[in-house]
Amino acid sequence: MPQLRLALAQVNTVVGDIDGNAELCLQAARDASGAGAHLLVLPELALTGYPIEDLALRKSFQTASRAALAALPRQLADAGLGDLAVVVGYLDASPDAPPQTGRPAGLPRNSAALLLGGEVLARYDKHHLPNYGVFDEARYFVPGLDLQVVRLHGVDVAIAVCEDLWQDGGPVAATREAGAGLLVVPNASPYERNKDDGRLELVRRRAAEAGCVLAYVNTVGGQDELVFDGDSLVVAPDGEVLARAPQFDDALLVVDLDLPAATAEPRDEDSSLTAANGGRVRIRRTVASSEPLPAYDPQPASVAERVPDEQEVWSALVVGLRDYVRKNRFRSVILGLSGGIDSAVVAALAVDALGADNVHGVSLPSVYSSEHSKDDAADLAERTGLHYSTVAIAPMVAAYLGEVELTGLAEENLQARVRGTTLMGLSNQHGHLVLATGNKSELAVGYSTLYGDAVGGYAPIKDVPKTWVWAIARWRNADAEARGETPPIPPNSIDKEPSAELRPDQRDTDSLPPYDLLDDLLDDYVEQDRGSAELVALGFDPALVERVIRMVDAAEYKRRQYPPGPKISARNFGRDRRLPITSRWREPAPGASHDTPVPAKTSPAGERGGTA
């Protein structure tokens, strides 16, 4: 059987930085060539970054992507890498195609090209354009209609892109009809908790369907609200994992393969599969080299081990935070330290991402702040080594109260807003990015203050439920202890009862159900999108279901105004859950007593939810 040394490069691209991304691709080619690889595969849209959103529609951007792709084969050849076949994702377009109503003018395409010997040898356009969750590809791209097969060193190599793998029929099935010996798939597939398990299962199933080895290469790193985890994979048609890259790290995964020799006549033909235009998927063949390579000694490939869920989540949050700060050209961050678990975890994440010297924690005590809050914040600063300072907010609060009458909820929110204004002032003065410290449970029910604790450029734990904030804090401390280091998070911040400390003896449970119960219910309502009848059937108390649903639905405006943060679950409160601000829809409330007090819809006003 012909041999082939395959390299998969999981690289950390930056949206819009076409020159920088091209250099990342060239460096991966140098590394792959140095490792003796014959074929290098880079991720989906590696030249432009992902997701490019409406940049895809900008003519100057399309032109720049096409120009970078056209220049790359010569740059590879000039670097002595002309013999290495390189598959790379880029934004293509048909600039002279007439505009189609409902389709972007200029018809952009989500494409991959195979480069060899100083030339673009073959092109492939993605067929299946995901348009759900965080994806909007039907807005940007026209679908491809062909399967591209390139004969390389006597092996027929087929190309597909990302979503093509998640759909039945189409390119994967056409790969089997084409008799390909290897299917390579560039991806930009965002991290979700437990997705790596589903991904392996999917790749195994598709390798079996394609009847050949499947090589899956994924982007790595944070980009706005998405975090890509890499986890590139090579799987045999019988399901054996031949190689696997680590999550959340740049990597070049190299694997030696024995592959079936190509036998098909090298001519184009129609498959039996239906394409997006209702016609047949066309199989197009290109011959680079029909002769197998001279035999060589294969090297063992690495198969990265899986890590515990808590470590996976912690790593995703660190990488998301690091890259958001770096890619937006900030160097340092600032956040308020309350002594509570949320700000402690965000501070520890920031120290892991940026180093303690780039993290500024500010204690902002009010007259309602307890002694233990101030002590716990100071303890955190000592454990992590971050810069620590204290600004008392009582004088500012008193100044407002001297000019305007604010009582009750308005006074509670005032304290949060004085803190927000102070942090933003320090941000403007010193150039730090402000981190918001709210968790997903709070955001879900609107338990936060607009322009108060909700200020900032990035919200590292906005997609982490409260019970998981505790879980990853415990994991991080235990991991430090196991390595003989100081656990970064004060145990008292983990163990004490949560309080916003905006009035005397306040407790979160004054306004909210216990967090373990709340998170269970939110998981079913938000993540699983179950209606109230289903929730009651699952055993939740009808009055609680009604109360929590009303809080969640009324908080839509606050969630929209919250800073972006890294997505770690199937549904966060950013791009993948799109509800109207103004909606009078009320879930039916089976079995709820009619005297359950229900707050009026107050989302645009900025109340701390649940107490309105």
Q: Is 398 in the site for its own copies (CB under 8 A)?
A: yes
Q: Give the list of residues 6+ apart from residue 573 with CB closer than 8 angstroms, or none.
A: 440, 443, 444, 462, 463, 559, 562
Q: Which residues ranging from 452 to 471 are in contact with its own copies (CB under 8 A)? A: 455-458
Q: Is 331 in the site for its own copies (CB under 8 A)?
A: no
What is the longest distance spanned by two Cα atoms in the chain?
87
Q: Which residues ranging from 194 to 233 are in contact with its own copies (CB under 8 A)? A: 223-224
The DSSP element (H or E) to which 86 belongs, if any, is strand 85-93
Residue 245 or 346 with smaller CB distance to its own copies: 346
Q: Distances in Å between the alpha carbon of 401 and those of 46, 395, 397, 607, 612? A: 54, 10, 6, 18, 21
How many residues bind its own copies (CB under 8 A)? The answer is: 110
The binder of its own copies chosen from 98, 294, 395, 539 (CB under 8 A): 395
Annotation: binding site = 132, 189, 195, 336-343, 413, 437, 442, 558
Q: Is 132 in the site for its own copies (CB under 8 A)?
A: yes
Q: Which residues ranging from 571 to 600 are in contact with its own copies (CB under 8 A)? A: 577-588, 600
| Residue 404 near residue 435, CB atoms below 8 Å | no
The binder of its own copies chosen from 136, 249, 527, 541 (CB under 8 A): 136
What b-and-e string marks burial along 16-55, b requiring 16 or more CB atoms within 10 Å of the CB?
A: eebeebbebbbebbeebbeeebbbbbbbbbbbbbbbbeeb
Q: How far is the CB of 99 from its own copies (least distance, A)?
A: 11
| Residue 48 near residue 63, CB atoms below 8 Å | no
| Residue 183 near residue 158, CB atoms below 8 Å | yes
The binder of its own copies chosen from 85, 601, 609, 611 (CB under 8 A): 601
Question: Residue 205, Cβ neighbours under 10 Å: how many?
Answer: 15
Which among 25, 44, 501, 556 is annotated as catalytic?
A: 44
Which among 25, 59, 137, 162 is annotated as catalytic?
A: 162
Annotation: binding site for ATP = 336-343, 437
Residues in the chain: 612
Burial of 238 (0-12, 13-18, 19+ CB in 10 A): exposed
Q: Which residues ranging from 232 to 261 are in contact with its own copies (CB under 8 A)? A: none
Give yes or no: 44 in active site. Answer: yes
The binder of its own copies chosen from 198, 431, 491, 514 (CB under 8 A): 431
| Interaxial angle between packed helices 341-354 and 309-327, expressed in degrees from 0 to 180 and rounded to the nearest 10 | 70
Q: Is 330 in the site for its own copies (CB under 8 A)?
A: yes
Annotation: binding site for deamido-NAD(+) = 413, 442, 558
The binder of its own copies chosen from 118, 130, 237, 292 (CB under 8 A): 130
Q: Which residues ranging from 15 to 54 are in contact with its own copies (CB under 8 A)? A: 15-18, 20, 51-54
Q: How far is the CB of 24 from its own copies (least distance, A)?
A: 13
| Residue 442 near residue 566, CB atoms below 8 Å | no
The binder of its own copies chosen from 422, 437, 467, 477 (CB under 8 A): 422
| Residue 121 near residue 137, CB atoms below 8 Å | no
| Residue 394 near residue 366, CB atoms below 8 Å | yes
Can you tell me the distance from the alpha carbon of 332 to that of 359, in angstroms, rounded to the nearest whole number? 6
The binder of its own copies chosen from 5, 128, 383, 550 (CB under 8 A): 128
Residue 154 or 171 with smaller CB distance to its own copies: 171
Q: How far is the CB of 430 from its own copies (least distance, A)?
A: 9
183 forms bridges with which residues in the sheet?
158, 214
The binder of its own copies chosen from 90, 124, 191, 324 (CB under 8 A): 324
Q: Is 307 in the site for its own copies (CB under 8 A)?
A: no
Give yes or no: 137 in active site. Answer: no
Here the tokens at position 151 are 């004969």
Q: How far is the CB of 43 from its own copies (least distance, A)?
A: 17
Give yes or no: 405 in active site. Answer: no
| Residue 43 near residue 89, CB atoms below 8 Å | yes
- Contact map string, positions 67 to 106, toward its own copies, x by CB under 8 A: ----------------------------------xxxx--
The DSSP element (H or E) to which 548 belongs, if any, is helix 542-554
Residues labelled as active-site residues: 44, 126, 162
